[in-house]
Amino acid sequence: MDNNLPKNRFFSRSIKLDLILPQISLKQIILKQLQDAIASYRTENSIAKNLDRVLNSLPNKVILQDNSNFPSLVYCCAIAFPLANLCALPSLQVAQELIALLPINIQESTTESPLQFTVRVKKNGLIEFVLGDRSVGLWLSRMGGWGDEMGSLGAQEIGRGGDYNVFPGQYVHDRCCSLLRLGEREGLINLNDGAFSRHIWQIANPNPFQYYCDQNINYCYEPAELNLLRKISLLIDYICDRTENELLQECQATNPKIWVQLALNLSDACLKFIAACRIFGSVAREQRDLAIARLGLIAIVQKCLQHVLK
């Protein structure tokens, strides 16, 4: 990310975090590092009173920003505010001291290319985690192995909790399947299962997201493309926030409306992406790697919707 930070960003540093399967949720990766930093902060500042309550609230204070002004995936964290109340310190000071405890590098990285984040502090003490451009490609590349152990949550289970219209999501799922088959016929990708009968990553080869990882490309995401990335991340965060039993309970009884809304939001974003970001024709001929990368996003949507709705 660029070093010319907006004036309302007070402090910035870069950190590298490992991406370890099956933990593919960006929110969970950030939460783990924040929890470790808060534990160190507690030791250094000798605070214990009410800290457990603050830690329990941490998942609700890390939020993916849905803002077209951000050029990448950005998570904001407001944990400095309750910590500042405990320490009787300004929230800006607490936020700066907290991110100073985050790792600059992973000494023994478990992945060849850890995710690169820029961490920024706003003047009010709000912390922003900005995922680096090429790290988006790395994150997407690892998506293929995510969720295979989950199987399908199933529209039948969702339907038990209420009468919700899942047809738009099913339509988009089938549209994704058609686009992926077309991509195979055009010689852009090879599929693992052209019938889409299994809950697996469908693109056998090539790695569809190499384009996003290319060090020599200064890539700017289309608005519809970035919006789709946000909706994918939101759905994965929601799933990873919950245990398998909690997921099934929500689908069967508690509040399946949340699942349906997440799926419909993802479906709507996918339709806008298909309309705004061409894949075939001149793009496939002149920017083959970009066309393949966009098919990769289609494959992620297909896999997510198959888990949730099919």
What are the tens digits of pLDDT across the range 143-166?
877 766 555 554 444 444 456 788
For residue range 222-249, list pLDDT tens digits in order.
Answer: 999 999 999 999 999 988 877 555 655 6
More confident residue, 274 or 68: 274
Q: Per-residue pLDDT tens for 95-105?
A: 998 888 887 65
Q: What is the pLDDT of residue 2?
A: 40
Eight-state DSSP code of residue 222: -
Tell me the pLDDT band of 11, cut-offs 50, 70 and 90. low
pLDDT in tens, 22-81: 568 899 989 988 988 888 887 666 665 667 778 888 888 999 998 767 778 999 999 999
pTM for this one?
A: 0.86
Q: How confident is the model at residue 6 (pLDDT cuts 50, 70, 90)?
A: very low
Rg from Cα positions in the chain: 20
For residue 105, with 0-12 CB atoms within 10 Å meaning exposed, 13-18 middle and 19 or more buried, which class applies?
Answer: exposed
Residue with tokens 């009010």: 124
Region at 75 (left for phi over 0; alpha for psi -120 to 50; beta for the rest):
beta
Q: How far is CA 113 from CA 67, 109, 161, 307, in A?
A: 27, 8, 42, 28
How high is the pLDDT of residue 216? 60
* Cα(302)–Cα(195) distance, integer angstroms: 13
Mean pLDDT, rounded, for 276-292: 95
Segment holding 227, helix H or strand E:
helix 223-240
Given a contact cutoff of 8 angstroms between Cβ atoms, the answer to whether 160 and 275 are in contact is: no
Q: Which residues contact 238 (CB under 8 A, 6 or more apart)?
A: 258, 262
DSSP tag of 248: H
- Tokens for 268, please give them: 């709507």
Q: Are 136 and 73 in contact (CB under 8 A)?
A: yes
Nearest to 117 by CA among 19, 215, 238: 19
Give mean pLDDT, residues 73-92.
90
Higher-confidence position of 1 and 27: 27
Task: Report pLDDT digits (tens) over 166-205.
Answer: 889 999 999 999 999 999 999 999 999 888 988 889 999 9
Other CB atoms within a 10 A radius of the CB of residue 190 amount to 13
SS (H, E, C) 78-117: CCHHHHHHHHCCCHHHHHHHHHCCCCCCCCCCCCCCCEEE
Helix (H) or strand (E) holding 285: helix 282-286
pLDDT at 265 > cutoff 70: yes
User: Do 65 and 75 touch, CB atoms closer than 8 A?
Assistant: yes
Q: What's the confidence (pLDDT) of residue 48?
A: 58
**Model pLDDT, residue 215:** 61
